[in-house]
Structure 1
C-alpha cells in the first residue's frame, strides 16, 4: 500500500474559561481544549488499565516501538466504532512498517472486551476511565448534565478505579509518537463526527517512517 506523502495536522491551542478538576484544568467545551503539541513529550506517569484491569504505564509501552495513539470516546459511540473499523483495515500495514497501535478510551476494562470482539482488533486497547491520560494530553472536557445524560442513555458507562464517576470525555485524537515520547504528528478535531481517514493515517505514517 502506497500513498503520496501526507503530513496532515490539526493543532488546537485555545484559551478559555475552565473548570478545576482534581488539580488540573479541564475546559467546559470541546472547542476549548489545549492539547499537547507536535514536538512536546508524553508525560511520564500516565497509568492505564488493560482488559483484565491490570495497570499499564503508557510511556513504557511507547518505548517499545514507534506508536500511533488513538483517543476515542467509547465503544458506545457510532463515530468511534466507524473509526476503529477503518483503523482495522489498515492496521496490518501500519504494523508492517514499524508501528504499534494503542487505542485509549474512558470505557471501563470490563467494556473493552466487547469492543475487541466487535472489531476483531489486532492492536492494544486500554482503559482511561480515570481520565488521567486524556487530561495529561489536554483532550478532556466536561459535559454538562444534559449531554452527560444523553450519552449515558446511549450506553456510556464510566466507572473510575475508586468506583466513582465523572462527567468528562476526550476529544477524539490521533498522535504519532517516537519511542523517546516525542509527538511528531497529531490530528485533533473538537467535532466528534470528523475523524482522520485511513488513507490520511497511512500517508502520515509513510511520511514519518521515511524521515
Structure 2
C-alpha cells in the first residue's frame, strides 16, 4: 500500500467517526475550512522550487546535537522533509514511509533529515514511536521553515479549535506563535541547488518517498 493510500484510509475512518475516533462534524468542517483557506492563499506557490538555492541551516537534533546542512551536503545530496509534529498522525505515517525508503536514499549517497517546530523531547518521541534511524531536527519558531517558504500562522478560529481539543501547539513547540510548516519535501544537490520539491497546503496529502529518487539518481550518476 502506498503512503497516500494509507493516509486516505486513515482520513476516511477519522472523518466518518469510526472507532476509535469520535469527531464531531463541526470539527471536520473547521479543519476543511482552514485547509481550503491555506490553499486559496497561494502560499505553496511561494515555497522553494526545483532550481532554487536551499538556505543553509544548523538545527539541534533530537539529542540536542547541532546538525549543519553544509556538513551534510559535504557528504552527498540531502533529503529534507518538513512535518508538523508528533501529534499529527499523517506526519507519523509519512515518517514511517521515509524510514522504509531510507536504504534507497543512502544507496544514492543521500542523507535524510526531518524538520519540525517541536521541542527536542517531542522529537525524541517521534524517533522512538516511529522507529527512525535518521535525525529529527527542531526548528524553533519555524524560522528555517520560513526560509523555505513553508511557515504559516493558524487562523484564529483554528487556534480556538486546537485549544478546545487540547492540542497545545505552544506546549509541543515551546513557542507561543501558533505557526506551522506546510508539509514539504526537498532533494538538494551538493551545490545547494534544489533538485526536487513537493509542497502541499493540504496536510493530508504527502508525496511518495520514491518520487525524489530520479532526481537523486541524476546527480549520483554525474558524480560516478
- Match of 1:64? 75
Match for residue 154 of structure 1 among 167, 178, 181 = 167
Compute the displacement of 1:61 (Å): 2.9
Change (3 A) 1:147 1:62: farther
Given that 1:177 and 1:183 are in contact with CA atoms closer than 8 Å, whether structure 2 keeps it comes out as: yes
Moved more, 118-127 or 200-209: 200-209
Q: TM-score, normalised by structure 1?
A: 0.76
Given that 1:47 and 1:132 are in contact with CA atoms closer than 8 Å, whether structure 2 keeps it comes out as: no
Give the aligned length: 179
Q: Which ranges in structure 2 are unaligned for 5 or more consecutive residues?
A: 1-36
Match for residue 51 of structure 1 among 59, 62, 66 = 62
- Structure 1 CA distance, aligned partners of 2:55 and 2:74? 13
Correspondence 1:166-177 to 2 at 5 A: 166-177=177-188
- Match of 1:11? none
Pair member with larger Rg: 2
Given that 1:63 and 1:181 are in contact with CA atoms closer than 8 Å, whether structure 2 keeps it comes out as: no
- Structure 2 CA distance, aligned partners of 1:47 and 1:88? 22
SS of residue matched to 1:122: coil
Say yes or no: does 1:140 pair with 2:151: yes
1:5-40 Cα offsets, whole Å, 9 max, x none, are xxxxxxxxxxxxxxxxxxxxxxx8354321122111
Say yes or no: does 1:91 pair with 2:87: no
- Structure 2 CA distance, aligned partners of 1:57 and 1:99? 15
Given that 1:172 and 1:190 are in contact with CA atoms closer than 8 Å, whether structure 2 keeps it comes out as: yes
Compute the displacement of 1:42 (Å): 1.7
1:93-143 Cα offsets, whole Å, 9 max, x none, are 221221110100111111111110111111111001221110000111110
Q: Which ranges in structure 1 are unaligned for 5 or more consecutive residues?
A: 1-27
Given that 1:143 and 1:169 are in contact with CA atoms closer than 8 Å, whether structure 2 keeps it comes out as: yes
Correspondence 1:105-120 to 2 at 5 A: 105-120=116-131
- Structure number with the bigger relative contact order (C-alpha 8 A, sep ≥ 6) is 1
- Structure 2 CA distance, aligned partners of 1:111 and 1:53? 12
Compute the displacement of 1:204 (Å): 4.6
- Match of 2:47? 35
Structure in which a larger fraction of residues adopt strand? 1
- Structure 1 CA distance, aligned partners of 2:140 and 2:67? 13
Say yes or no: does 1:189 pair with 2:200: yes
- What is the RMSD of the two structures over their aligned residues, measured on CA atoms? 2.2
